[in-house]
Amino acid sequence: MNKQTLEEQLINLNKYIGEYHRCNLQDGETLNRLLQKIGGTLFYLTTVRAEVHDLFENKLQEFVESGMSVARAQNETNIRYPEMYRLRRTLEAAERIHTAISVHISYLKAEMRNL
């Protein structure tokens, strides 16, 4: 996992979401472009999250096997892999926004059909 690339993609995701909040919701072309950009970034971040999750779980198991309580091992692992929490929260929020954009596009399509 490349932390610099992870940071760059999180910055890009933030930029795309900010653009979504500022855009005209009647502009289907912009919404479609943002849907593609956010979707692609989410895919990348999901693969990174899977990698971090494997490292996280392996380290957690290692701590438990060394004699730590599960709670203490969890705390120590959270300290070593802060990306895990950050990615989980970021991806959940970004997926909701991705869905909202998709709904807006569907609404625009339905309006165009009714004209």
In tens, the pLDDT along 90-108 reads 999 999 999 999 999 999 9
Gap between the Cα atoms of 77 and 58, Å rounded: 9
What distance, in Å, lies between the first and last C-alpha atoms of the chain? 49
Q: Residue 115's pLDDT band (boundaries 50, 70, 90)?
A: confident
pTM above 0.95, yes or no: no
4 versus 91: which is more confidently predicted? 91
Q: Residue 3's pLDDT band (boundaries 50, 70, 90)?
A: confident
Domain of 21, in residue numbers:
3-113
Domain count, the chain: 1
